[in-house]
A = this chain, B = another copy of it.
Amino acid sequence: MSQQAVEYIEENKERFLDELKEYLRIPSISTDPTQKDEVARCARWVADHLEEIGIDTVEIEETAGHPIVYAEHCKAPGKPTILIYGHYDVQPPDPLDLWDTPPFEPDVRDGKIFARGATDDKGQLFAHVKGLEAHLQTSGELPVNVKLLIEGEEEVGSPNLTPWVLENKERLACDAVVISDSSMFAPGVPTITYGLRGLTYFEVTVTGPSHDLHSGLFGGTVPNPINELAKIIAQLHDADGRIAVPGFYDDVIALEDDEREQFASLPFDEEGYLAETGAPGLQGEEGYTTLERKWARPTLDCNGIWGGFIGEGAKTVLPSTASAKISCRLVPGQDPAKVLELCQNYIEEIAPDTVKVEFKPHHGGDPVLIDRDNETVRAACRALQKSWDAETVFTRGGGSIPVVATFSNELESPTILMGLGLDDDRLHSPNEKFNLECFYKGIETSAYLWNEL
């Protein structure tokens, strides 16, 4: 990046912050129908802003839901094309009374900006916008070709994004996708996330008697669906915390030695992590560390269970049914549909003949593993190194970002998950914040990145 661009960023920090505040003042709550106009206004604001900083083509694309802002600045023939993805919608701010300052009146204190959307994802996306501006306003051009895809429905599951991506595959063609909508491993530790877990989710209902029975008159002679469901759930893990469903691990791509070494070298505060959960102790699959368990090993967790009498006091009912919601976090290599089938077959096999078992699949999502060894990743590491003056760490994430699988499958482009936030940013909670250091270093990183590419 030119010395001019560096100085431009330094000189305009105050204005950048004022603009971010303006952006954060728009209550673009995608799930709230009463805020539909504000969501549309926010899309307009983003589009106008991209035009102001000098982006060549800016469009607002209507969908069945909230609009998508799509922009292109492709004037560097022979250079790589980068797609930046982000979202301008935000979570609802409830409960309002837990906010120290109102969610849509951004407030700066202690070097942090507090507002709904500060980190998720307005602040992180805006860092890239300002990084582009630094080039355009100093040299009049960008060192790479850039496309921006900024949706307004990320917080409601992106229902209209995948269809739009499918319809616009050629337009979206790129060499890499850059997303900043996650966290750094720790303050001051630049981070690239290269793996995400997928998901398969299902519901099991066990029926014993066809109707509730009196436990005195029938107890001891008929199958109790709660007891039987509990036995089924207990058989889903072995004594070492491994999932006991046959074939479950068959397609798992094992952690490589260098990954395990890399995870082990991270400054992970296990005591602090335990304190954050509030549990009496941590537990998981034998033979793996906590970071390996949460980032790179599949899980099977009951998310809900219910059956029989659950009111106050005692009722001696022998219930007819008991149900559980169960989900598996999947790791790269695993297929949600295949795992679902394995679970169903196993559960039906281990259930006794004296009960009926019903199986109901819910949604799933693909796990993602991104190549760590390519030119885009190396360029991102150099950019991060320059702005943070620290070496980049590689982590995986335990959750899912469905759009990453869409880009990977449909655009066949590697994605760089370059989180600028921190774990304590309280996204989705009251008092969401974004550290100003993360914002400014993020602008620098973005500006450096276009050069490094």
Contact = CB atoms under 8 A, between A and B. Distances in A.
Interface of A: 197, 199, 201, 208-211, 213-224, 226-227, 229-237, 273, 277-285, 290, 293-294, 297-310, 313-320, 322-325, 327, 329, 352-356, 362-363, 397-400
A219 B308 contact: no
26 contacts: A209-B279, A210-B278, A214-B399, A215-B301, A216-B398, A219-B299, A219-B398, A220-B329, A221-B290, A221-B293, A222-B279, A223-B283, A226-B233, A227-B236, A227-B237, A227-B300, A227-B301, A230-B233, A230-B305, A279-B355, A302-B307, A304-B309, A305-B305, A305-B306, A305-B310, A310-B323
B302 A226 contact: yes
Nearest to A327: B316
A201 B186 CA distance: 49
A226 to B, nearest CB: 4
B329 A304 contact: no
Contacts of A301: 215, 219, 224, 226-227, 318
A316 B303 contact: yes
Of A210, A220, A310, A325, the most chain B CB neighbours within 10 A belong to A220
A236 B226 CA distance: 12
Nearest to A197: B216
Nearest to A291: B221
Contact of A227 (B222, B233, B310): B233
A431 to B, nearest CB: 16
Contacts of A307: 302, 304-306
Of A215, A290, A400, the most chain B CB neighbours within 10 A belong to A215
A302 B354 contact: no
Pick the 6 closest A-B CB pairs, nearest first. Answer: A210-B278, A216-B399, A234-B234, A230-B233, A226-B302, A304-B308
Of A229, A297, A308, A362, the most chain B CB neighbours within 10 A belong to A308
